[in-house]
Chains A and B, each alone.
Chain A
Amino acid sequence: MSAAPGQTVGPFFHLGLAYPQMNELVPPANPRAVRLHGRVTDGEGNPVPDAVIEIWQADPLGRVVRRPGSLRRDGWTFTGWGRAATDPDGLYSFATLEPGPAEPGKPAFFAVTVFARGLLDRLFTRAYLPDDAAALAADPLLSAVDPARRDTLITKRVDQGLVFDLRLQGTGETVFLSYPRLRDAWA
């Protein structure tokens, strides 16, 4: 069966995709809350003020939770999924918990989806936690990418959490991903 093609999210996505607390997987006041944030930039380094970032992640114990409630946050249920729109400076921000590794020895990461006006199809990437050097070194994806581009997939620790910038094109271009069944869809 042929998969439906994507189309750009366009300039008016706030109308249909925005909802309260969409970027708060946990309340920011939660003592374990971490701020995952960054800037989305284009091929000239200018901010992209009309992008949508979605994250999907394991809980701190590395479990994939599959609980409803992302659209009506109750402040207690961690659903592992959130959405943020960039601001006029291209900045996005999430309040969340740090994901745990899926199994011992694996690096923990956020699965990230990017949409934007001007971007005709969505992009996928990963934002790895930076701490476990041995796990990062053993990771199949990080080992496969050009070493010069590897750091684009790894978050940086700052005072207020984790920074993950997304460069859609040009110098420092983020590594974006494809998966086997997506390639099948081209056959």
Chain B
Amino acid sequence: MNPQSSQADINQEIEAAAQQPGGPQPKIDYAAYRSSVLRHPKQPLQLVDPESVELWAPAFGHRDVADDEADLTIQHAGTPLGERIVVTGRVLDGDGRPVANQLIEVWQANSAGRYRHQRDQHPAPHDPNFTGVGRVLTGADGTYRFQTIKPGPYPWRNHLNAWRPAHIHFSIFGTDFTQRLITQMYFPGDPLFRYDPIFQSITDPKSRELLIAQYDHDLTTPEWNTGYRWDIVLTGSHRTPLDLEETA
């Protein structure tokens, strides 16, 4: 692959891939995202009925996650720079049941678009008061809630002048092993969406929208924070409804 592809080249590839019928999940064979070329299986996935341990998810509890890990703005002596936001929503399985008492992990760049990670060499400032890592357990109705700082967009080296839309990484567990999901939450109206091969690897526009949080003025509080709502639907559980009730 030519590391010096232009944005125009990438746009053409995104456009071409959008013409091929795709499902609601990202295409794992998506060359516009250069790092994917050698890292996706070429053989079809083998369909199997899940059994034993695959019918259950690992359990997490208050021993695993402290309450204050859901607030990314209080992890240091000072207040982080940037737009303070609340992100909240519900985690549901594919049949609409809440995913209760389950772990969500998040990580993100700071307001300047810099990760607190050795490998991030983007010359934007670190924020000594922001690490960008949080954890939370969902409540009985599947609700989660974080307070954080709105992340900035940042450049990467997929092609010349490549920029990622602002996003928060989410790691989510369901009620069975097969529902495991790691994805990215985006912000509404981001001008970088159309240029980003990671976001565009989901070729179905309606499915892409599922990763975009909604601004919600009811979550905005006076003189403190703005608010975003993002509900997360997982795939369906393979256990029977009776099994699921027994574990509730």
Contacts and interface: CB of A to CB of B under 8 A. Distances in A.
B46 A141 contact: yes
Q: Interface centre among B24, B43, B53, B56, by most A CB within 10 Å? A: B53
A111 interface: yes
Contact of A1 (B40, B53, B233): B233
A12 B36 contact: no
B210 interface: yes
Q: Interface centre among A1, A9, A66, by most B CB within 10 Å? A: A1
A119 interface: yes
B100 to A, nearest CB: 13
B235 A64 contact: no
A57 B177 CA distance: 10
A140 B54 CA distance: 15
Given A178-B46, A180-B47, A16 B105 contact: yes
A13 B135 CA distance: 14
Interface stretch (A31-39, A130-138, A169-177): A169-177
| Interface size of A as a range | 35 or more
Contacts of A177: 45-48
A185 B237 CA distance: 11
Given A16-B105, A64-B52, 16 more contacts: A2-B206, A5-B26, A6-B183, A15-B107, A15-B133, A48-B39, A54-B180, A56-B177, A57-B53, A69-B61, A71-B135, A120-B40, A173-B41, A176-B45, A184-B235, A185-B94
Interface of A: 1-17, 42-44, 46, 48, 54, 56-58, 62, 64, 66-72, 79-81, 99, 102, 106, 109, 111, 113, 115-124, 140-141, 144-145, 149, 168-170, 173-186
Interface of B: 23-28, 30, 33, 35-43, 45-65, 92, 94-96, 103, 105-108, 115-117, 119-120, 131-133, 135, 169, 171, 177-178, 180-184, 198-199, 201-202, 206-208, 210-211, 232-238, 247
